[in-house]
Amino acid sequence: MTHDNQSHPSFDELNDFVDDRLTPAGRLDLETHLALCPRCAGDRDRLELLLDQSRSLAAEVEPPAEIWSGVHQRIAGRSPLGRRRSWLLAAAALLLVAVSSAVTALLVRRPQTVAVRQSAPAAPLAGVGLPVAARAVDADYQAVIRELDESLAQRRAQLAPETIAKVEASLRVVDEAIGEARHALAADPANRDLVDLLAASYERKLELLRRASELLPAT
Amino acid sequence: MSSSAPYRPLLFAWFAILAAAPYAASQQVVESRRAVTATASVRISGTFAELRIRGWNKDSVVITGSVPNDAHFAGGFLAPAGGPSPGAKFFVESPTGVPAGTLELRVPVGARVWAKAGSATIDAEGVTGGLDLNVIGGSVHVTGSPRELTVEAMDGAITVEGAAPWARLKTASGNITLGTGSEDAAVTTVSGDIHVAGRYERLRLSSVTGPVAFNGDIVRGGSLDVDTHSGTVDLRFPPKLSADVDIATMSGRIENAFNKRSPIPGREGRGEELAFTAGTGGARIYVRSFKGNVKLSQLSQIYLKTF
C-alpha cells in the first residue's frame, strides 16, 4: 500500500487506520499521505470524531498488529493443500525411508549389535515416530497456532462462556482428526495424501483460532 | 351469554396495550440516512439480534429499526465537504451483551457492506457490490449475486441463494448451503453439513467431520477439490460430465454409481482409489478423504433441468 497525493486511501483503509488495524509499514505510509493531503486528513478527523461517540465500546477487536504481521507472513506462504510442497515433503520422507532402510540393513548384517527391544507404547502426539513430512507440516503450523492460542487466551475473559465452549468443542474435533492423521502418517510416512489431509486439518484449526481471536468482545 | 360479554374484546385490547406498553417504552428508534456514493462502504457491528440488508437503486444509505433503550447505538456517515459520503459506520452495544434489536440497512446495490455480530440473524438481498458478514450463532441468508461474498460463522447456518462470482463461506459447526454456482467458491467447515449445488468454475469443499454433498457441474477447465477427514462425501454430476476424476480414501469406502468403473484398493491395501476420465475430460475433480465414505452418482432429472 503506497499513497501519494494522487492515490488517496480508501474508506476501508482509513477505517483500518483509525481502528489501529494497519501494519506498522502501512500505518507509516498512510501517515505520510495524511500529512500531505488535507482532504484525507479531514476524512480521518471526521472518522475519529465519529468514533469518539463510541468511546465506551472496545476499541480493539483483533490481536495486536505485531502478532498478525507474523501470522500473515506464515499463512501467505501456504496454500490450503500445498501439493507442490507436499511432493517435496513426500520426497524428503521417501529419502528418510531409504536412509532408514540402509541403516537397518547395515544393522541386520551385524547381528551381534542388534538389541531386541520391547515395542514402545502407543506414541503420544508429541512427534515420536513421525516422518519428516509430518514434522515439517507440524513445525510450520504449530508456531502460528501457538501465537493464535496465546492471543485467544488473552482475550478469553472478554468472550462469552458459551462462545468459548463452541470454539473449544470444534477445536477438540479438529485435534482428534489431526491426531488420527499423524498416527496414520507414522505408519505410512511416504503417503502424500495423508500429508495433505493433515495440512487441511491444521488449516481448519488455524481458521478457527483466527476467527475466535477476531470475535467482538462480550459475544 | 352474560351481560359483560360485549365488553370482553375491549377488555382484551386494553390488557394487550398494557402488556405491550413497557416493551414499546424500552425500545429506542434508530433512523439515519444520507446520500452516499454508489460504491459506498458501510460497516455495522455489535449486539443487534436481527439485521436486514437491502440493496436498492438509490445512492443513499438508510438505517432504520429499534434497539433496547439501554443499548448504545453510535456511528454515522463519513462526511466530506459537499458531495455524497463514501462510507458509514454503525455500532450497537448492549450493557448485558445479549443480542437485541432489529435493524434494516438500505444501501446502493453496488455498496460494500461489512457486518459483524454475536448471535444474530442477517438477511441480505440485492447487493451486487461486496458482502462480508460474520456471526457466531444465528444465521446468515444471502440472496442475489454480490461480486464478493465472505461469510463466516461459528455455529450459525449460512445459506446463499444466488451466484456470487467469488465466495468464501466458513463455519465451525454451522451448516452451509450454496446454490446456483460461482466462478470461484470455497466452502469450509469443521463439523457442519455442506450442501452445494450449481455450476462452478473453481470450487473447494473442505470439512473435518461434516458431510459434504455436491449436486452440480464443473465447467471445462474448472476444478472441484474436496477434502475431509471423516465426513461422508456425496457427489452427483450430470451424466455428460467431462472431467478427470481422481478419488482416494485412506480407510473409507468408495461407491461408484456414476459409471461402471470399480474402485481399487489403496496404497498398501488401505482405503480405496478411483480414477477415470469422464467424457473428453477437461475439468478436474479431486477428492481426498481420510475415513469418510465417498459416493459418486448421476444427477437426477430434477436437478438436470436446473442447468
Indicate the helix (H) or strand (E) that contains A158: none
Q: Cell 496465546 sits at which residue?
A: A150
User: What pLDDT does B108 receive?
Assistant: 98
The tens digit of pLDDT for each residue in A80-90 reads 444 444 444 44
ipTM score of the complex? 0.82
Is A209 or A65 the better-scoring residue by pLDDT? A209
Exposed/middle/buried for A112, CB within 10 Å: 0-12, 13-18, 19+?
A: exposed
Query: Would you state the pLDDT for residue A150?
Result: 84
**Cβ–Cβ below 8 Å for A57 and B86:** no
- Cα distance from N-terminal residue to C-terminal residue, chain B: 64
Alpha carbon of residue A217 to chain centroid: 22
CB within 8 Å of A117: residues ≥ 6 apart: none
Residue A165: phi and psi, rounded to 5, are: -60, -40
Whole-angstrom Cα distance, residue B265 to residue B143? Answer: 44
pLDDT at residue A3, as a whole number: 59
Q: Pull the grid cell for residue B73.
A: 447505538
Cβ contact A11–B75 (<8 Å): no
CB count in 10 Å sphere of residue A158: 15
Q: How many residues does chain B have?
A: 307
pLDDT bucket at A125, cuts 50 / 70 / 90:
very low
- Percent of chain B scored above 70 by pLDDT? 89
Of B164, B123, B124, the C-alpha closest to B147 is B164
* Residue B15 confidence (pLDDT): 57
- A193 neighbourhood in chain B, CB within 8 Å: 248, 250, 288
Q: Is A168 on the interface with B (CB under 8 A)?
A: no
Mean pLDDT of chain B: 91
Give the pLDDT confidence of A12-63 residue by residue, as tens digits: 788 778 776 777 778 888 888 888 888 788 878 777 776 665 444 443 344 4
Q: Is A160 touching B (CB cutoff 8 A)?
A: yes
What secondary structure letter does DSSP report for B244? E
B4: DSSP letter: T
User: Which amino acid, residue B118?
Assistant: G
Whole-angstrom Cα distance, residue B183 to residue B190?
24
Residues A60-76: tens digit of each pLDDT? 344 444 444 555 555 44
| Residue B284 CB neighbours (<10 A) | 16
Asked whether the predicted pLDDT for residue B251 surpasses 80, the reply is yes
Share of chain B above pLDDT 90, in %: 80
Angle CA(A105)–CA(A111)–CA(A115) in degrees, nearest 5? 95
CA distance to partner chain B, nearest, from residue A206 (Å): 11
Closest partner CB to A197 (pick from B75, B191, B227): B227
Instruction: Report which of residues B110 and A46 the model is more confident about.
Output: B110
How do strand B102-108 and strand B60-68 relate by DSSP bridges?
antiparallel
Q: How many CB atoms lie within 10 A of CB B139?
A: 18
Q: What is the identity of the amino acid at B188?
A: T
Q: Name the minimum distance, in Å, from the CA of B299 to any CA of chain A.
A: 28
What is the pLDDT confidence band of residue B12, given thresholds at 50, 70 and 90?
A: low
Cβ contacts of B157 on chain A, cutoff 8 Å? none
**Pairwise CB contact (< 8 Å): B152 & A193:** no
CB of B185 closer than 8 Å to CB of B202: yes
Radius of gyration of chain B (CA): 25
Average pLDDT, rounded, for chain A = 68
Partner-chain residue, chosen from A11, A39, A61, that has the shortest CB–CB distance to B41 = A11
C-alpha–C-alpha distance, residues B44 and B113, integer Å? 8
DSSP A118: P
Torsion angle of the four alpha carbons A116, A117, A122, A123, in this order, in degrees rounded to the nearest 10: -100
Q: Contact, A188 vs A195, CB < 8 A?
A: no
Query: In whole angstroms, what is the distance from residue A168 CA to residue A162 CA?
Result: 10
3-state helix, strand, coil in chain B (%, to 5): 10, 60, 35
Contacts of B112 in chain A (CB under 8 A): 12
CB distance B233 to B292 below 8 Å: yes
Neighbours of A50 (CB within 10 A): 21
Is the CB of A57 less than 8 angstroms away from the CB of B91? yes
- Give the pLDDT confidence score for residue A146 in this predicted structure: 85
> Which three three-digit cell numbers place residue B95?
450493557
Backbone angles phi, psi at B127, to 5 degrees: -95, 125
Determine the Cα–Cα distance for residues A208 and A211; give it in Å rounded to an integer. 5
Radius of gyration over alpha carbons of chain A, in Å? 24
Q: Report the residue of chain A nearest B204, measured CA to CA.
A: A80
SS3 A170: helix
- Is the separation of the CB atoms in A150 and A158 below 8 Å? no
B89 interaction partners in chain A (CB closer than 8 Å): 15, 47, 50-51
- Which of B34, B70, B131, B190 would you mutate first to test chain A, the one with the most A CBs within 10 A? B190
- Mark which residues 231-290 of B lie under 8 Å from A by CB: 248, 250, 267-268, 270, 288, 290
